Every structure is written in C-alpha cells, then in structure tokens.
Structure 1
Amino acid sequence: MYRIDLNCDMGEGFGPFRIGEDHELMKHITSANIACGFHGGDASTIRSSVKLALKYNVAIGAHPGLPDMAGFGRRKMDISAQEAYEMTVYQLGAVMAFAQSEGGRVAHVKPHGALYNMAAVDPKIANAIAEAIYKVDGTMLLYGLSGSELIRVGERIGLKTMNEVFADRSYEDDGTLTSRDIEGALITDSSVAAAQVVSMVKTGTVHSRLGGLLQLKADTVCVHGDSPGALNHIIELKKTLHESGIRIVKAGE
C-alpha cells in the first residue's frame, strides 16, 4: 500500500504576531516542523506549538534556520560548516527542552528555508547539520530534499532519513526547488498541488517547471504553513490521497 507522512512548517510567528493557521492545520497533519527561534518562533510560540502537537498526536520536529528573522530565514547567508553545526545544536536544544517539559520528544529535524536549500547541495553544510543531529540524538529522523546531498550525508553518518517532496512548490531540472523569486515557484491551485503529490508517491516522478521529468522518492510531503491557502491545500491533499489509495501515516509507523 502507498503511504506518506504529511508535514507542515509551524510556529513561525513571534510575540503577538502569528503566521499561518496552526491551530487548524495541526488537526490534519502527522508531523509538525516547529521553528526554533532564529528565523521565526520564540519561547512562548515554541511551547504552544509543542502542546498543540501533543494534543493532536502529531510528531514534533525541530525546524532550525538561519539567524535572519527579518528575512524569515529565506535569504542565503555565507556561513561556515562550524556555524551550521553550532546553530543546529543550539536550536535543537530549544525545542527538545520544551518537548521534554511537556511530556513529549522531538522525533525529527528539518532545516528551514535557505539553510535547507544550502544543505541540499553543499556537502560541508549538509555534513555539519547531520553531524549535529547525530551527536545530539541519533535516533531522530532527518528530513531533507528528496535525493539531496543532505539525505546522502545523513545516511552515511547513520541517521534515518526521510526524502521530502513538496505539494506547493515547483522543481527545477536539477531536482532543486524553484527560487521563490521566479514566477511559478509557488503552486497556488490546491488540485494541482494534490495531483503533483499523487504522481510523486505513485510513480516516483514529477515534472519540473520547464517540463523535464524528474525521478524522486517520496517519504514525506510538506505544505508550507505560511503559504496562502495552506489549509485548503492540506484538506484537498488529504481528500485526493485517500481517493488515490495513499495512506497518510506518521513517519516511522
């Protein structure tokens, strides 16, 4: 039977500012990637996100990003491998402490934004992130772009990895995500997004923005919580997956 984990980036507001419909989204997903305070999130938001995930039996994940709140962690920064390692360890500690204090645990780690894209192609950054996760808790799952350098390095280090695909993003011919600066990078039609996911799960393929056919593995699918219409995306996606005979299951189950 076909199966897929459904994850969403969450807890990315801070203070009085809220991004996305986390309370509604959490009811429909199996894994939550919780911002750790660098690109979004703060102590109160992390705690409330952890509690919400536990309420709905959603796997808790840490979502470490670059220290760029103004740019939402989506602007590339010139960082060293050591800095990537240290900022990953630091951010994991924040979410792990809140999870433990509320009676839960962090099940997975997924880098955010520019850090995610950098790790997808840069072996040194990928190795630093994977090493940080392994040394903190080698039982945590590593979420990375399907077939990317981060997945390859994570497997080599000894982590269990989850090849991630995207419902609401388009792909380039090299398998990377289309830059958000390019028209067509974001998929806004929920039916198109759902059809893309079904293709990736059942055939292991997806068409790139320019029409090429890419081969990939789909273990988990992401819908960005801050995307316009994210809730509609997820509701339509769940419906389409069910009709297509694809089970939505929590990673590792």
Structure 2
Amino acid sequence: MWYWLFIKEKTNRYLVLADDQVTSKTRWILYQDNYELISDCKRSRKEAELYAEIYYGAKKLKLETRPITLKDACQFVDQNHRHHIGPQGHKFSIGLYDGDIIIGVIIAGRPVSRHQDNGITLEVTRCCVKEAFIGFSNSVDETVDNVEKILDDADKKVKAEREEILKKGIETEALIVDKEVFKSEDAGSMSIMPFVVGTTIYSMPISSPESSSTSYCLRIYAEDKNYDITVPEQLYERKQVGSRLKVKVYKEKIELLEDEK
C-alpha cells in the first residue's frame, strides 16, 4: 500500500492518507482547502511523516474544536452533508477546525421526539465532517467526545444546582394521577407467660386482640417524578384523579401545603 502526503502552506501542517482513503472527491476537497499534494508514493506512513518534517519543516495536522454560530454550522451542513440540510434551531454547535477553516460540525438541540423533550435531554441533530478528514485521527469521534464532555459538565452543573434547590424545597402544584385505599389486618401480638407446675417451668402463649388500620394513598406527579404519599382521609375524599395538590418537594420528603380538611 502506498501513502499520500499533503501539506497546507498557510498552516504548515501535513496530512498523510493511505491509498484506500484517497478518492477523486477526497483530492478535490483537499485541493479546495489549499492542501498541496507532495507525494503519492511513500511506502509507509512513517516515511511520509519524516519526509514532511525533514524536507518541509511541517508539523502533523492537529484538529481543534471551537463553538460556532447556528448560521455557520447550518451553512457547512448544507454544503457538505450527503442528504440533510441544517436544522431550524439548536442549543449549541461545535466546529472542528484544521487550524484555518471548518472541516466538521456537530449541532446539538432539543430532541425531535416530543416524548424525549423533557427539558433536560439534548440530542445531536447533525454530525457532518468533510470526507477527506473522516479517516484522520478519528476526527468524528474527537468532535463527539467534545460534545459529550460539554453535556456531562452541563449535566453535573444542573444536578448540583438542583440538589441545592431541593435542600430548600420547591413549591409546586402536583398532579394526582391515582388514588387508592389500603387496609391492613394485624393478627395481634403474641407474648409468652411462664408458669410453674411442681418443679417444672412451662411456657404458655398469650395473644392480644386483633387490630386493623387503613391508609389513604395518592400517587402524584411533581418535578418530573411520581411519588406515593399517604394523606388524611378528609383530604383523600376531597381530591380526585386529575386534580392538583399544592406540595413542597424536598430531596428526601414531600410536604403538603394544603389544608388537610
């Protein structure tokens, strides 16, 4: 297999591609981006790299990521994506640069599915890299990793802020999604009473009367979660499925804000 060496004079960076990575389209893209073909007959990638560094003083191409506007990202997608055009909106976009121009973009926005659009989920709506650079240093993976890092940092920040808010409590109106009455029967407690016959000690079990209890439970939806809570009977009878209940949500408990009667 032969290796091709391209150098961009403006950045003094070189790019080495194997035979199976070079097509007429690849060469045209590199030509448009001002990459000059230096050699197409190097016997190894190492030989091509040494040739570029020794005879041209060039350095290996290093890609970098930067935030970009939706307008610039959509313009790149429109020009380079195989079948998609740019989306209507975004939360943020990241461009992949060769030190001079954009060679790839990722656009992150609200989920297309309304079931996933819960306010805390982001979706990568477009991922596009120029064909000539797809095989270089896993450029797509690098861009995706950068997006994932941004999302992870944002997620950690949101969770930390939410933890602080939950410590103080969040007042909200919960939706009652279900209600049910639970009755439990207590078989009574059993105790042991010792008694003596002659010189022998015997044990006689003694049981207490049976008892029962009733619990009135509501299932509520608040702050993107379902909660099962026990309420007084008067409040249970007054509230119906589909009605609202004023509560204060903490990290480990829920406080009722309505009059129990």
TM tier, smaller: under 0.3
Q: Which has the higher strand share?
A: 2
Question: What's the TM-score once normalised by structure 1's chain length?
Answer: 0.22
Q: Which has the higher helix share?
A: 1
Higher CA-based Rg: 2
Q: Which has the higher contact order (CA 8 A, sep 6+)?
A: 1
